[in-house]
């Protein structure tokens, strides 16, 4: 969905999170169980195929930068070389793992990133980073793979702090593992 603006291409920005039925998006490894099958893997692969830059929150970056560089996994083959833009108010200076700290306001930074470079951008986490960029209208497609489980506790992607926000359903799929894969965009000003 890149569109031409004069001589500049606007890059598509997506996010894909695992989500429990009661809205928890934090630490899916604690409640996902065996509900990740080949269909989910194929969808993830398709969604990151054209991505050249990833936006990631500091906590998730710290966890992943310790695990993924030495992992042997198809996701590692993508996440290790991709350029990572780390949203943080505490990190500074040079980072490892092909990463840079987001300089200044994350919304302004991602808006600028969208207008330069090539390839698509994926916001891979954390919860607050995805929430703020989506509500700011910067994420074109937010995909939630909703697992048939009630997590009970954990951070929710959309909590009590989120104002009334209308969405539009872009795609809906059900997997053989029982997951609903729903892709949304902001609805905008229409009724």
pLDDT at 25: 94
What pLDDT score does 7 carry?
Answer: 42
Q: With contact defined as beta carbons under 8 Å apart, do 87 and 57 qualify?
A: yes
Which pLDDT score is estimated for 9? 65
pLDDT of residue 54: 97
The CATH number, out of the four listed (1.20.1540.10, 3.10.400.10, 1.20.140.10, 3.40.430.10), of the domain defined by the range 3-186:
3.40.430.10
pLDDT per position as a tens digit, 76-103: 999 999 999 999 999 988 899 999 999 8
Segments making up each domain of the chain, as ranges: 3-186
The stretches in the chain having pLDDT less than 50 are: 1-8, 190-191
Residue 145 burial (10 A CB sphere; 0-12, 13-18, 19+): buried
Question: Would you say the C-alpha torsion 158, 135, 85, 70 has a positive or negative sign?
Answer: positive
The reported pLDDT for the residue numbered 188 is 72
* pTM flag (> 0.95): no
- pLDDT tens digits along 15-29: 999 999 999 999 988
Q: What angle do CA 43, 148, 25 make, to 5 degrees?
A: 70
Q: What is the per-residue pLDDT for 182?
A: 96
Continuous segment of H or E residues that includes residue 16 = strand 13-20
């Amino acid at each position: 969905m890149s569109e031409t603006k004069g001589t500049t291409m606007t890059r598509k920005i997506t996010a894909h999170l695992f989500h429990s039925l009661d809205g928890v998006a934090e630490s899916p490894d604690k409640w996902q169980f065996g509900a990740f099958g080949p269909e989910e893997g194929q969808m993830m692969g398709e969604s990151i195929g054209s991505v050249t830059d990833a936006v990631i929150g500091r906590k998730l970056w710290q966890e992943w930068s310790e695990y993924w560089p030495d992992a042997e996994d198809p996701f590692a083959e993508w996440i290790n070389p991709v350029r990572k833009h780390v949203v943080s108010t505490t990190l500074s200076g040079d980072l490892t793992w092909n990463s840079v700290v987001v300089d200044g306001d994350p919304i302004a930074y991602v808006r600028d990133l969208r207008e330069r470079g090539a390839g698509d951008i994926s916001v891979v986490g954390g919860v607050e980073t995805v929430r703020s960029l989506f509500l700011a209208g910067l994420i074109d497609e937010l995909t939630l793979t909703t697992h048939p489980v009630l997590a009970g506790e954990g951070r929710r992607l959309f909590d009590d702090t989120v104002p009334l926000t209308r969405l539009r359903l872009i795609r809906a799929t059900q997997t053989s593992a029982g997951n609903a894969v729903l892709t949304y965009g902001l609805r905008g000003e229409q009724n």
